[in-house]
Structure formats: C-alpha cells, structure tokens
Structure 1
C-alpha cells in the first residue's frame, strides 16, 4: 500500500448516519414520535382549512361527505387490524419452548462471558447503556495500546496505525459522552450506539492486519487483534439492543394506534351523523367546516402515528443495514484502499 493511500482520510468513509438538515433529521430520527404525529395532524388541519378558504373543497354536499366518512371508517378498521397483526408478529418472537429458551439464555450468557473476558471484569453490567460504555472503554484502551505498540515501527506503518487508533479513540469518546447522559429505553441511547461506525473500523483494522502482517511486531498484532475483537463484541451488542428497541417501539406504536383507533372511528361515525338530517347539516353552516375538519384530523390520527413511527424505524434499519464490514449503503468505489484480486498489498 502506497503512502498516498495511507494519507486517505479514513474517517470520511463511515456509515452515513445523522447526515442532512436538522429539520429533516428531527422529523426522521430525533423527534418524539407522538409529537411528530401531532405536527402532521396540525398540518393536515391547516391544509384543509386553506383548501376550503380558496374554494377547492366544500362540506355542504351530504352525499360526498358521508361517502368520505364511510371510507375513513373502513380505512381505520383496516389500519387497526394491520397494527394488531404487527403486534402479534412481535409477540410471537417472545414465545419459545423450553429448549429454545435454554438455547437463547445460553447464547446470552456466553456473550456476556466473552465481554467480561475481553474487558477484564468479573461480570458484565446488566444495564445495556453501561454495557456499551464498558465496551467503548475497552475499544479506546485497545486503540491506545495499539498506538503505543507501533511507536518504534517504520514511519509509514506507524503513521497509518496511529491515525487509525486516533480515529477510533475520537469516535468512542463522542459516543461515550452521549451514553453517559442517557438510559436504555430512550431513543437517544440506541441512536448513539447505531451511529458508532464499528463496521468501518473493523474493515480498516482487518486491512491493516493483513497489509502490515510482515511489518508489525507480534505485540502490535496482538493489540490489533484485541481491538478487532472488542469492535466485534460492540457490533453484536449494538445489533441486539437495536432489535430490542425496535420491538419496543413497534409495540408502543401498536398500543397508541389502538388508543387512537376508537376515537377515530367514533369521529368518522359522527361526521356521517352530522348530515343525517334530511334538511341538511345539523349545526350552523358557518361552524360546519371547522367541525368537520377537526373530526377528519381525529379520524386520521392513527395514520399520522403510522407515518411518524415508520419513518424512524425504516430510516434506522436502512442506515444500519450491514453485517460486520459489509456495507450495502456504500458505493463500489468508496474506501481508502484499492483492493483487487491477487493484490498483495
């Protein structure tokens, strides 16, 4: 690997998480989902008011309004049924026979033992955030040890490895500061874990291990292996916590949708009853648009919840879709290393 390749900015090739305008990221990721649903509902309210004001929509035709109300009732029933099905699918993952439950427990215990061995503690923490903090401390310490181990190496090797170790340490400090002020169950903790780019660090570290195999001392190779192992453990822990959070998020969405479903259906029925009198609407014609628009917003509240929750879950899933250093969101030319078949580095 030439010096020009060593001078590449390794940290610029990480996962694209948290990119974009602040408003867009607040809508997609950071904002409270119920608040997002309220904002969407308010936007619909004022949009319908605007259309009514300019004469695009009207609420004086009983046949049109009652047909819309009937369609909204059917749509709400379908949405609630879909949400209940999603909730049942999530619950089905929690049901297990004794044998499967034992396998699951043994896998978790083995993973926690691996973390305890790697971090030199008697037992890994039970709190997810504390566990992630422990792994971050292990990664940072391994990066420091790696940088110290190459202090007497060739200049090109030393410079590349030290820059890599500094990048790893800077990333761990950034995520650790966020985790210190959060607790699991809040989205901020999960988001901090998913924004740590351990997949790319695994890729770069693996490349250095193979490219500099003949140049690194046995001690440096051991320190690099320790760092890669810590990164692997963090990846597994992050994926597990992300999955657990998304399960809880979808369960919360199902619960809120059921809560909103009842007033939604009642509001749609009430819209139809407003026009049940043969003489026309049963309330003052001046107040009619505001009442109907308000009821429509209530009817659409389950849909607003669906949009707000699905926006975040799909965005997280898309941006973190990877298995180790296999990043489908990266282009074929993205990366600091030019590697082809038979390349001997």
Structure 2
C-alpha cells in the first residue's frame, strides 16, 4: 500500500516562483520578479536619494569641495557612457539572433510548424492557436483532460495502483485549474502570463508520472498505460511551449530595458555634466549654498537612473533563469536529496518512507 505520507510526496518541488505567503518572502518576491521593473528602479532611486540626504544632514558627506565634486562628476560621465554602450551592445547581440540565412529560417519555420502540428494532434483540434498564451491555455486543457482520462482508466485497478495514480492526477488537475484561470485573464507580453507558465511545474509532474508509469507497468491495463502516455506527452509539449514563451518574453524584456536605458542615458550624462558645471565658476558654486547639496543629490539621482534600471531588470531575468535552469525533470536549484522517490539501480518499487521537507523549509531555500 502507498501510505498517505508517500502520497504527500507526490506534490510539486518546483520553482515556486511567486509562491510566498509571509511578508518578508513576499516582499522579496515582489522585488525580484513580480514588481514592475520601472517602479522598482524608481524606488531604488528614491532610496539612494534618501540615503544621501540623511548622510548629508548628519555630516557624513558634504558638497563644498569643488575639486572633489568635479572629479565625481567626471567619473559619473565616464561610467554612464560605458553603461549605455554596454547596454547597446547587449541589444545588438539580442537582435543578431533574429538574423538568419534562408536555410536557417526555413529550418526554424519547419520546426515551429511541426511543433504546432504536434500540439494540434495532442489537443485534438484542427489547428493550434497563433497566440502563445492561447497555446499554453490549450495545452493546460489537454493536460487536465488527459489526467481525468487516466483517473477513469484506473478506476477498476487494485487499490494501491488506483490510490497512487488518482493522487497524482488530482494534483495535476488542481494545478492545471489554477494555471488555466491565470492564463485566461492574461495576454502575451505581460509578466503575469510568464509567471503563470513558469509557476506550472510540468517537469516535476513529468518526473512523477514517468516513475509511476514504470513502477506500475505490470499492473496497469493497456488503456491506462496509453492514457498515461498521452498525459506525459502533453506535459512534454507544455515544457517546450513554456521554454519558447520564456525565451521570447526575455528577449522582449531585454529589448525594453535597452530602450529605457537609452532614454535615461542622455539625461543622465547631461545631469553629470551639470553637476560639474555647478562648481565650475571661479567664485564658487552658482547655486545658493543652502540648496546646493539637494540640487547635487537630485542630479546624482538622475545620473544613477540607468544603473537602477540595470539592477531592476537583471534581478528579474537572472532570478527566472536561475529558478528555471533545467531541461526536463532536472531541477538544479534543489538540494541533492530532494525528491519523493528513493531509488537505486534495479529498484522499480515505490518510494520508501523518507519524509519530505516541510513547506516552510522549501520556501526558505
């Protein structure tokens, strides 16, 4: 018999992006992935401004030495030029991936057409949707339908087989329902849609389904085996579609970042120049000494705007990449002992009684 403890270990060990409930982890998730990148960059600028004002008010820093300020301004000009140049180079690198010869373009087109044909066959529709979000919705519906078919196919099996398979299909249907509702109210290009695709743990479900398929190979009827294979195939197709969706979104995100950096780059360079010019008069600063520190701090904030954009965008892209850096059921972000099945060579049985980490332990990783 499969114990209830073993049943619980069939639950997802996936990326858990956005799955934080406590205040501090939730705030961290908003900062890293959920928050609008422009808003995050603006908050970082406000934080820098507040810190500089406080340091000035307590006497830690000052803006009375013209030589020091002009040297800082020169460094900011050089740094901003370098940052903008680097971002433009990254943008050119992204664009270069879109250039292709006729042969490469034909192979790319044929692979896309072939994939869409596979999705249409698996979902039993005439043609797969053009919209990537709708395509993911269709695959989610196909996964839910296949999971229900597997559950029906094992209804007359032994209790051990029926209990394990039903537990698995219930989890799959619950997850597809949650992701399906999110995708239904989103559109392509929004991070909410990417978050939904990333949050769905098809790799883990594929792993568990493959294990159950092999563990109960002799006990499953031909119909149940066929239905389970259909479910695994739908999960594979969702994985491919999700990877393409994430890749396309990240390309658009990095292109948007390049545009915003160029927009902010010119004002940043002009602000850095203006900081130096404020102290260029031989008679001293050309602004009233009482407001000079705050004017300088404000200009410094403008100079740092490209840097805060870089920080906010890179935080999201690197977090998504790190948490989804896998091909199939390989989860490098997890610990080596995490998993519901304790297996060894030649062992085709179900998992032993090894306890899974608690949800709190998984959230803190």
TM-score under structure 2 length normalisation: 0.93
Aligned residues: 345
* Secondary structure, aligned partner of 1:342: coil
2:137 and 2:16 map into 1 onto residues whose CA distance is 22
Deviates more, 1:168-177 or 1:328-337: 328-337
Quote the residue 1:143 is aligned against.
147
Range moving further from structure 2, 7-16 or 227-236: 7-16
1:7 aligns with 2:7: yes
The whole-number CA distance in structure 2 between the counterparts of 1:150 and 1:283 is: 81
Partner deviation per Cα, 1:129-170 (whole Å, 9 max, x = no partner)? 111100000000000000010011111110000000000000
Does 2:56 align with 1:52?
yes
Question: Shift in Å at residue 229 of structure 1?
Answer: 0.2
* Cα displacement (A) at 1:2: 5.6
1:328 corresponding residue in structure 2: 332
Distance 2:333 2:164 in 1: 25
1: distance between equivalents of 2:4 and 2:285?
Answer: 77
The answer on whether the counterparts of 2:49 and 2:301 sit within 8 Å (CA) in structure 1 is: yes
Q: Write out per-residue CA displacement over residues 212-250 of structure 1, whole angstroms, 9 at most, x where no aligned residue.
A: 000000000000000000000000000001000000000
**Is the CA contact 1:139–1:230 (under 8 Å) kept in the aligned structure 2?**
yes
Structure 1 segments, 4+ long, off by >6 Å, are none
Task: Judge conservation of contact 2:183–2:193 (CA < 8 Å) in 1.
Answer: yes
Matched, 1:243 2:247: yes
1:19 deviates by 4.0
Q: From 301, 309, 313, give the equivalent of 2:313.
A: 309
Cα deviation, residue 11, structure 1: 1.2
CA RMSD, Structure 1 to Structure 2 (Å):
1.1
Q: Distance in 1 between matches of 2:111 and 2:222?
A: 32
Distance 2:16 2:125 in 1: 33
Aligned to 1:183: 187
**Is 2:230 the partner of 1:226?**
yes
In the alignment, what sits opposite 1:17? 17
Alignment partner of 1:128 is 2:132: yes
1:6 to partner: Cα distance: 3.7
Counterpart among 100, 106, 116 of residue 104 in structure 2: 100
Maintained 8 Å contact 1:5/1:336: no
Aligned to 2:256: 252
Q: Which residues of structure 2 form unaligned runs of 5+? A: 350-365
Equivalent runs, 1:36-51 vs 2, <5 Å: 36-51=40-55
| Structure 1 gap segments, 5+ residues each | none
Q: Distance in 1 between matches of 2:287 and 2:341?
A: 72
The TM-score, its normalising length taken from structure 1, stands at: 0.98
Report the alpha carbon displacement of residue 3 of structure 1 after superposing the two structures with TM: 4.1
Which residue pairs with 1:287 in the alignment? 291
Q: Aligned pair in 2 of structure 1 residues 181, 217: CA closer, same or farther (>3 Å)?
A: same
SS in 2 for 1:344: coil
Task: Tell me, in whole angstroms, the C-alpha distance in 2 between the residues paired with 1:29 and 1:183.
Answer: 18
Is residue 31 of structure 1 aligned with residue 35 of structure 2?
yes
CA distance in 1, matches of 2:348, 2:272: 69
Please report how far the alpha carbon of residue 10 of structure 1 lies from its aligned counterpart in structure 2 after TM superposition.
Answer: 1.4
